[in-house]
Amino acid sequence: MRDYLKLHLVIVAWGFTAILGKLIDMPPIEMLVWRTALAAVGFTLVARWQGQSLAMSKGERSRMILLGGLLGLHWILFFISARLSTASVCLAAMPTGMLWCSLVEPWINKTRRWRPLELVVGLVIVGAVWLIYEVEFRYWLGFSVALGAAFLAALFAVISKQLVARCHYAVMGTYQMSGACVVSIIGWLGLEHGHVTVPGVDDLLWLFLFASICTVWAYAGYMDVLKRLSMFTVNVIYNLEPIYGIALAALIFGQSEYMSTGFYIGAAIIIGSVVLVPWLERWVDGQKARMTKP
């Protein structure tokens, strides 16, 4: 129960990141440079405080940094999506990560097989995504970018699942956030031409919250529960992020975050599908067990 509660709190924190992306008054990729740099420092301090050495083999360190670069690219796409559309539209695409995980995990984890039920649910989600496209076509570009962000998040989660058992989360976080910071700097120089924004007091406070609670604490909690919960269970709970995020966005931003009825129908189909999956999985497994009974 404690792991489930912790994971829900992590998802609430992640749902708040799209909102922080709109509250902080600076370009999105420059904001990520701040976030990842502060988070890398934060994880380094946590590792030192917990007596964890940052030493590891060159190959392992390179893999951690490259994986962090993948996370940085995910964040770049995520916040570009929020700026191109709305926080709600961006968050509505995140549940497709479950479909991506179902497709990607068997390729990375050779002991995992494709499960027909997950693929069927994934197709239902794709249909709901198309419904959102149809009724909110003016946000098609932002939503498309968010789908790419969801795929990268799934890839990051599947690979991290393989690493978390043999490496302390603070050590992983230090190198991964460093890699994410490098990618963010490259994106900042290439897409925002290295423009420097001097943050005000409010922005500094939001950035501190962004780096400490929504990144260091949330990442630490996520990596902790990933050791004990299956990737499938984590994905099911992760898909509640739009509920938390869209509710917070509507509460904070008001009418600018209100969508058409069709949008909410599509989002409800996505969320409802993944919430029902655990019960459907148990039912399918029960049917298989009865059929194989002598």
The per-residue pLDDT for 183 is 95
What tens digit of pLDDT does each residue of 83-122 get? 787 766 776 777 777 777 777 777 776 655 666 766 677 6
Q: Is the pLDDT at 187 greater than 70, yes or no?
A: yes
Task: Round to whole Å and give the CA distance between 43 and 23.
Answer: 24
Q: Is the pLDDT at 34 greater than 90, yes or no?
A: yes
The per-residue pLDDT for 217 is 92
Q: What share of the chain is helix, strand, coil (3-state, %, to 5)?
A: 85, 0, 15
The per-residue pLDDT for 57 is 84
Distances (CA, A) of 153 to 35, 73, 95, 192, 194: 17, 9, 11, 23, 26
What tens digit of pLDDT does each residue of 130-179 get? 666 555 567 778 888 888 988 998 888 888 877 777 788 889 899 999 99
Domain that holds residue 153: 2-292
**What's the angle, vertex CA 210, arms to CA 268 and CA 25, rounded to 5?**
90
Question: Which of 136-154 are b and which e, b meaning 16 or more Cβ less than 10 Å from the residue's Cβ?
Answer: beebeebbbbbbbbbbbbb
The per-residue pLDDT for 49 is 92
Q: Which helix (H) or strand (E) holds 112?
A: none
| Nearest partner of 246 among 72, 27, 80, 93, judged by Cα | 93
Q: Is the pLDDT at 294 greater than 60, yes or no?
A: no
Q: Please tell me which residue, 243 or 45, carries the higher pLDDT value.
A: 45
Residue 69 — very low, low, confident or very high, per pLDDT cuts 50/70/90?
A: very high
The per-residue pLDDT for 197 is 87
The per-residue pLDDT for 230 is 74
The per-residue pLDDT for 247 is 72
* Counted domains in the chain: 1
The per-residue pLDDT for 258 is 59
